[in-house]
Structure 1
Amino acid sequence: MTQRPRFHLAFPVHDLAAARAFYGELLGCPEGRSSPEWVDFDLYGHQIVAHLVPGKAAPSGDHNPVDGHDVPVPHFGLILAWDDWTALADRLRNGGQPFVIEPYIRFKGQVGEQGTMFLYDPSGNALEFKAFRDESLIFAQ
């Protein structure tokens, strides 16, 4: 883990067992503390907490058009190292995870070249995982 600050995110889920299967097994996030109402996960060194909210509504359906794709809003995720992003994409594909937006490369050969993918967890929370060929260009214009 770098010296960067770690983020904490709490989000609703309708089923803790499904959240454990998705975040713990499929994404490979180690589980931390838990109770009957919530579960902590270690998402690449960041603390995310799935809070049980029975009857949670499905995704809002809100989106923004980007590169001919409908990007779900809101969403959360991580910027990974390139090899970690590729490995995660393979892990998700091999695990049969459907994508909202399949892994693809944006700005190929240009400043800010990046891989990105979008998916929903079992409760309809949208996630994006991305990686930059050159992390020093994350905020390049």
Structure 2
Amino acid sequence: MDSTTSLPPFHLAFPVHSIAAAREFYGDLLGCPEGRSAEDWVDFNFYGHQIVAHYAPEEVGHRATSAVDGHGVPVRHFGVVLSMAQWEESAKKLADAGVKFVIEPYIRFKGEVGEQATMFFLDPSGNALELKAFANMESLFAK
């Protein structure tokens, strides 16, 4: 797909230990507008993508890491690729809110193909999220 093609929204369902905590984290902190909901689930607009928090406390949290650029990256994670300005704004907002980073915001693969800004953090249920950005979006899939 070339960069002028509009991508369809992605859908992701994930477990949480508390719908109220999910609303506070995804809605209030991350600023994701809420969509439909029921007692045991809630939709959020995550940068134009539909994510759905389902109450399933027995399924929460990440369990394994993988070594990437000298860091233990949570294997099970999701996130979004932002503009560099959005990434910087998000890093500041999360740090100011006292979010504990699994991997502090930094530039990964500096000077290499695929150089990117990245950060990892957990939601209140222990689900890992990654926010990343590329100075050059053309390097998103570069080898």
Into which bin does the TM-score normalised by the smaller protein fall?
A: over 0.9
Q: How does 1:28-47 map to 2 (within 5 A)?
A: 28-47=31-50
- CA displacement at 1:9 relative to structure 2: 0.4
Aligned AA for 1:128?
A: E
Q: Normalising to structure 1: TM-score of the pair? A: 0.93
**Counterpart for residue 95 of structure 2:** 93
Where do 4+ consecutive residues of structure 1 move more than 3 Å?
54-58
Q: Normalising to structure 2: TM-score of the pair? A: 0.92
Aligned AA for 1:41?
A: F
Choose from 124, 131, 136 the match for 2:133: 131
Distance 1:57 1:132, change over 3 A: closer
Aligned pair count reads 139
Aligned AA for 2:43?
A: D
**Counterpart for residue 5 of structure 1:** 8
Where does the alignment leave 5 or more consecutive residues of structure 1 unmatched? none
**Counterpart for residue 73 of structure 2:** 71
CA-based RMSD of the aligned residues comes to 1.3
Where does the alignment leave 5 or more consecutive residues of structure 2 unmatched? none
Q: Distance in 2 between matches of 1:69 and 1:131?
A: 18
The sequence identity of aligned pairs, in percent, is 61
- CA displacement at 1:108 relative to structure 2: 2.3
Q: Distance in 1 between matches of 2:58 and 2:10?
A: 27
- 1:75-119 CA deviation, whole Å, 9 max, x = no partner? 111111111111111110011111000000012233322100001
Contact 2:80 2:132 in 1 (8 A): yes
The more displaced of 42-51 and 108-117 is: 108-117
